[in-house]
Amino acid sequence: MRIKMEEIKKSNEKGKKVVRKRVKVTKKNTNKTTEKTAENKPAIVKNQIIKKQNNLPKISVKENKLPKVSKKENLAPAVSKKDDLTPTAIRKKNKSIINLGLEENPIAIKEDFMFKKENLKIIPLGGIEEIGKNITVFEYGNDIVIVDCGVAFPEEDMLGIDLVIPDFSYLEKNKEKIRGLVITHGHEDHIGSIAYLLKQMNIPIYATKLTCGLIQNKLQEHHLDKVAKLNEVRQGQTIVLGKMRVEFIRSCHSIPDSVALAIHTPVGTVVHTGDFKIDYTPIDDQKIDLGRLAELGNKGVLALLSDSTNAERKGYTMSESTVGEVFDKLFLNCKKRIVIATFASNMHRVQQIVNSAVANNRKIAVCGRSMINMIQTAVELGYIHAPKNIFIDLDMIKNYSDDQLVIITTGSQGEPMSALTRMANGEHRKININSNDLVIISATPIPGNEKYVSKVIDDLMKIGAEVVYSALADVHVSGHACQEEQKLMLSLVRPKYFIPVHGEYRQLIAHRNTARQMGIPADNIILMKNGKIVELNETEAKVSGTVQVGKIFVDGLGVGDVGNIVLRDRQHLSQDGLIVVVLTMDSEGNVVAGPDIISRGFVYVRESENLMDEVKAIINIEVMKCVDNHIRDWSTIKNSIRDALKDYIFQTTKRNPMILPIVMEI
């Protein structure tokens, strides 16, 4: 049982490291293990090592560690009696064991391998630097989730336009990626364009109970209620849309069933507040879920998109319940008929009007189509609680005395065709305002509507009615958060990136300043623009490009057929009027009949006969010039007449009417 010690000593003398290895060999047909030395050819050892190597367990790359080897799976190859255990052979043998799979077949030991995650794209198609038309696209990989789809109301220079909707071109190009449309609440600036979008693509819609009811009314008007995929969700529920999960968080606004959204993506969670305020005493006792927002903030929020409508206002927004107290005081001991104008969608306000009417034994009549539809839907779904027979038809008001009536009407913004405006002008068919009426305008003018509201108030007072509005009493509170509430939202959510939305530019800037006060770095605050693509991940945010956006005008039944050119012509006509020149010529260029002059919006022809005669003379001169120059092209003749009249009329009147020459040939 001796190892050849002489060779070992010689190796030590040469300074080489000698490896001694005790190899356990199990004899056949016995359980006793003994130490054996044997001689064998190197080829036998090599073959045994290769054979054993093939039986080795695989190394786990993912766990970043070598596998455990049991006693039965000893890495040392079995040694026969004939194995050569000389120092040289032992070194070769051990080297082969150490290098198994590492030199001949190297295995890379790496950390957990993951593909790089894609960026989350946030693309506003509307609602930035404007009021209304709210729609935002969240895109991750091949999945798109749309948040809200609203309308904007026409501005003063949009003559004849009924509604303004977003440009859906980007959604049309990527409609196979769209997983759903998610709605935060039921106001027009968030649901008004849904029917127009569904006419281009039928996508599933997810909204709370009341919001679904209001959307259903819209779809019925467009005959889409049978084909739309309308899905009702609950506050607190989470739905899966592709690789994104959308959580509906209870919020508070001027309409019930409002929600904020937590959009969970592979790169992080994005919170979208929707329109909100923090009301600790709401009418329906449904307080905003601040606890869930704080919980999300503790887990980490990648970005916060927050309502900026009231970002310029300091302090807090008053509770909706304070308006009810003012109503009670106005109703108490009032002997007049009470007419209240408010937003049709403000159901909390309507509920408080109902409460005051019931307390003072008054019946309620509703005026205005949108108000009737809204109240009917809210009562059916249980969002307005009222005794039976409290509501009466407008035709029945003559059967009640003034002190037994309340009339709820639309027109709080002074819209020209609204019910209240027609009452003030004496044009309403069923309601005549008189000195025994108390008119309460329970709203504040939207920017741009101030002069319309002021005119309605003046006209009502001229009739003799008593008018109460926000400047005289607290008959209105906002449904949007002021600065202190916005600070609370930022404190709870604690986002890495902050994106102010839903407001004009000055309001976005004010909200940005508030976020800076709350400690969010300036580089992490993103001022977006409609059409800009913002890409987010855990480490950076960047603007990566643009998509097509714009305003699509709805005029009657026409959608998009009125563009900027048509609007410019309408503005031209409204400012300077129109002159039509009718002329009949034969094939040789001789004037057979005319010229006749038709004026609309320019001058009254009968009072401007001298001007009309001079205009006719100039037309005849221009026609003779064309004849003398052998010009037979009607287009050239029309242009000559137009240019000559344009110069003459401007020099004479300093006006620039639209001129339309019509040349007929016989």
Active-site residues, by number, are 307, 480
3-state secondary structure 273-332: CCCCCCCCCCCCCCCCCHHHHHHHHHHCEEEEEEECCCCCCCCCCCCCHHHHHHHHHHHC
- Cβ atoms within 10 Å of 49's Cβ, excluding its own: 19
User: If phi over 0 gives left and psi between -120 and 50 gives alpha, with beta otherwise, what is residue 637?
Assistant: alpha
Is the sign of the CA dihedral 236, 237, 238, 239 positive or negative? negative
> Which residues lie below 8 Å from residue 444, measured CB to CB, with a gap of 6+?
470, 476, 478
Residue 501 near residue 131 (C-beta atoms within 8 A): no
DSSP state of 396: G
**DSSP H helical segments within 311-426, as ranges?**
321-331, 347-359, 369-381, 419-424
User: If phi over 0 gives left and psi between -120 and 50 gives alpha, with beta otherwise, what is residue 124?
Assistant: beta
> Which residues lie below 8 Å from residue 120, measured CB to CB, with a gap of 6+?
138, 139, 140, 265, 267, 268, 270, 302, 535, 536, 537
Query: Closest by alpha carbon to 478, among 300, 634, 315?
Result: 315
Residue 535 near residue 545 (C-beta atoms within 8 A): no
The alpha carbon of residue 120 and the mean position of all alpha carbons in its chain are separated, in whole angstroms, by: 15
Burial of 320 (0-12, 13-18, 19+ CB in 10 A): buried
Amino acid at 129: E
DSSP state of 550: -
> Which residues lie below 8 Å from residue 104, measured CB to CB, with a gap of 6+?
none
